[in-house]
Structure 1
């Protein structure tokens, strides 16, 4: 099975080129992908539901009287909503409020919607270096990270006076001390949302919907490289190889050092026997990212399958250095430790996997396995 790489909620780097409308239009083939999904056509990302407005009027207002504007809003969200981190689906504010769960982007969108209803100014931030890898059915996702800053004063007329801001970050593994952030626009947040939904629909097998979401992201922010890559993955899946190549190359004009896009373009050229064109790209990729994502995890799993748990543990520790907050790696280490009869260590890794899992269903599975392991240890 070939490996495809999709970016989600990822990058902000200095853009070397912003494609023109004519260039982005050359990547599209609307007739091949059905109709836009209803969800996209009805999208209102920051819409406030009656229940959300009531929450602001009652709970947020109460906390604001005690703690001030920004800290009061944060206190109300933290103590009253009991939100779970769940990276499986990106949702608009109103849906996230109902489900009480979401990924970093969903939770930032919800916080912004509540803040605006409460009259608190916000600005959005991309966090370089805080991304993570996830893998689903042969598709590897590079998940970036965003958070939000809440102003301590009421919203200004131009919305740009933030003063001393309170940073709200929903990712458990992030240490806010000394965290480097880059302010991004609401337009970029909207494009990130659309790009995420493209990747999620693609992973679910709905290629038509994925196309329309990626297309919308291009329209919203043509300087954002992620949707070009996603569009390339979609076109390749449909056999539109020229459009796929064009999309990948367009992404590289924006971010020439994007390892994800380079990997996809190399794979596309190699599949067509165009090794002479792929080789220079391989050299570039080797400088940027000498070891591909999940390489050590795959090697460790192969060692486990061959019955060598000790060698597997060696590979898993190498992967842990690269992806310290990846639940799959912690779970693999738990399995290897159990094979080596190190049950206490296995329990520790399994507990970490349960905490770090990016979605609620996997978290519950890991927690169940941990209970069984603990029962085994006490017998």
Structure 2
């Protein structure tokens, strides 16, 4: 009877508040790092795109629907402009205005932006929906900061490999944010001359990671790349190709776009074209593990077993010290409902990085599914302790409240 009660509790807990995110494929990057060692000639770009013959071979009708223009992507509507104007009017110095804008973006009493990984939206839609990922937040904050007259710099944060999931498929995520500074005023004493970072993730370790400046053109390419990945995930290959090919024209050295094209070509059965895309991406960054893994998968389809295995061994050896890779394996085990393996992988992740809340949430999920509710509760409390934002701390507090309510309802 006791075991039945515990199992029932675990099942209820898992259904009520543990969100399973599961990773299988490795294809999309919000802002994958890239190298720029050589100038890319237009002819090289053209070879990456499909010819009329290749389009006909796969019966792909190129989408002709208009894409968002760069102006569309960064435009603020009247409501957003009024939002900025009110902030500027209520503060005196640009330093104060910068801080006020940053607070207003996330404050519960103001815009209250929520993080949604799939929110690949233009600035005006991001403002209206109050949802953003790091890219759409950067676009909105850039547009607002420009409107307010601040000095702005969009930048890529060169983070380790980190995955999120959409419908059972892995999305490799990079990270971008915005640095804003006051315009120099000769007669003014400037507070915070080093600037303020606008970012969903305020973790101090981000400050220690290297960054790469991104132009407006590069951010536009990332937007098109992400939109293309959205359409790829729902099998709208014509629209996906339209976005990827446009992104490539804006940023021909972006390895994420080239890799995504290779992934699309593999799905379409254009294996030689896919291989060329992957090899081209590796010529830009030979250490890009995701591209190596996708190339290995392509070699599997082509029957090149030894070549595929060689690449996998290389990738595996390099990833073993990455805690987020163990989180990936834990999420894959969750997807397969192999809860013991899931717990094992999240435990390994914690040994490598013991201060990341999502690792403990993964542990809590596995323990709940196995009916180990005491361990699940302890893991959830640790997740709350290591959460870096007030919003996430409140989320875990709410989960713990639900946890206790379910325990009480079962009279355990």
TM-score in terms of structure 1 length: 0.82
Q: 1:9 to 1:82 in 2, by over 3 A?
A: same
Q: Counterparts of 1:132-281 in structure 2 under 5 Å?
A: 132-153=162-183, 164-173=194-203, 175-281=205-311
Structure 1 residue runs of 5 or longer lacking an equivalent are 157-161
Q: Report the Cα offset of residue 172 of structure 1.
A: 4.9
Q: 1:94 to 1:84 in 2, by over 3 A?
A: same
Of stretches 295-304 and 89-98 in structure 1, the one that deviates more from structure 2 is: 295-304
RMSD after superposition: 3.5
Of stretches 342-351 and 235-244 in structure 1, the one that deviates more from structure 2 is: 342-351
Q: 1:187 to 1:16 in 2, by over 3 A?
A: same
Q: Equivalent residue for 2:18?
A: none
Q: Does 1:29 align with 2:50?
A: yes
Distance in 1 separating the partners of 2:352 and 2:147: 41
Asked if 2 retains the 8 angstrom alpha-carbon contact of 1:40 and 1:213, the reply is no
Of stretches 88-97 and 164-173 in structure 1, the one that deviates more from structure 2 is: 164-173
Distance in 1 separating the partners of 2:209 and 2:126: 26
Q: Equivalent residue for 1:38?
A: 66
Q: Does 1:99 align with 2:142?
A: no
Q: Among 139, 142, 150, which residue is 1:120 paired with?
A: 150
Q: Report the Cα offset of residue 301 of structure 1.
A: 6.5
Distance in 1 separating the partners of 2:171 and 2:273: 21
Q: What do residues 227-261 of structure 1 show as CA deviations (whole Å, max 9, x unaligned)?
A: 00011111111112121111111111111110111
Q: Does 1:20 align with 2:20?
A: no
Q: 1:318 to 1:37 in 2, by over 3 A?
A: farther
Secondary structure of 2:282's counterpart equals helix
Q: Does 1:344 align with 2:365?
A: no
Higher relative contact order (CA 8 A, sep 6+): 2
Asked if 1 retains the 8 angstrom alpha-carbon contact of 2:115 and 2:200, the reply is yes
**Number of aligned pairs?**
363
Asked if 2 retains the 8 angstrom alpha-carbon contact of 1:47 and 1:94, the reply is yes
Q: Equivalent residue for 2:15?
A: none
Q: Report the Cα offset of residue 226 of structure 1.
A: 0.7
Q: Report the Cα offset of residue 169 of structure 1.
A: 1.6
Asked if 1 retains the 8 angstrom alpha-carbon contact of 2:227 and 2:240, the reply is yes
Distance in 2 separating the partners of 1:155 and 1:130: 38
Asked if 2 retains the 8 angstrom alpha-carbon contact of 1:351 and 1:370, the reply is no
Of stretches 176-185 and 201-210 in structure 1, the one that deviates more from structure 2 is: 176-185
Asked if 2 retains the 8 angstrom alpha-carbon contact of 1:64 and 1:72, the reply is no
Distance in 2 separating the partners of 1:353 and 1:216: 40
Secondary structure of 1:94's counterpart equals helix
Distance in 2 separating the partners of 1:254 and 1:268: 19
Q: Among 301, 312, 332, which residue is 1:298 paired with?
A: 332
Q: Report the Cα offset of residue 148 of structure 1.
A: 0.8
Q: Does 1:48 align with 2:48?
A: no
Choose 1 or 2 for highest CA Rg. 2
Distance in 1 separating the partners of 2:73 and 2:198: 19
Asked if 2 retains the 8 angstrom alpha-carbon contact of 1:201 and 1:209, the reply is yes
Q: Report the Cα offset of residue 168 of structure 1.
A: 1.8
Distance in 2 separating the partners of 1:265 and 1:135: 20
